[in-house]
Amino acid sequence: MRDLITTAEIWKEGGMYTSYCPELDIASCGHTQEEARKNLAEVITIQLEEIAKLGTLDDLLSESGYIRDGDVIKTGKKIVCFEEIRIPIPVL
């Protein structure tokens, strides 16, 4: 068994939480942050199982920027921050 270390972005939209894995472009949601995270992990697991059945899992992970470190597969990218920025929009 190998473990995948990936990113989960979670934000609140109205009364729900959306969770997103940018490396795999997979999203889910839940009524709480924990539920959104759990649902995202479940969707990723199902997706990876189906891709493994097709025999293309290593290709997908490699194309998505993951590297193997023993029994752990992790992204080669390291998130350094998330921040809001303000961009002026030109008046037309």
Is the predicted pLDDT of residue 82 greater than 70, yes or no?
Answer: yes
Is the predicted pLDDT of residue 1 greater than 70, yes or no?
Answer: no
Q: Is 24 helix (H, G, I), strand (E, B) or coil?
A: coil
Domains of the chain as residue ranges with CATH = 3-75 (3.30.160)
Strand 3-5 with 72-75, pairing? parallel
Whole-number pLDDT of residue 79: 82
Residue type, position 25, single letter: D
pLDDT digits (tens, 9 = 90+) for 14-56: 999 999 999 999 999 999 999 999 999 999 999 999 999 999 9
CA 7 – CA 21 distance, rounded (Å) = 5
User: Is the model more confident about 91 or about 43?
Assistant: 43
For 10, phi then psi, to 5°, come to -130, 130
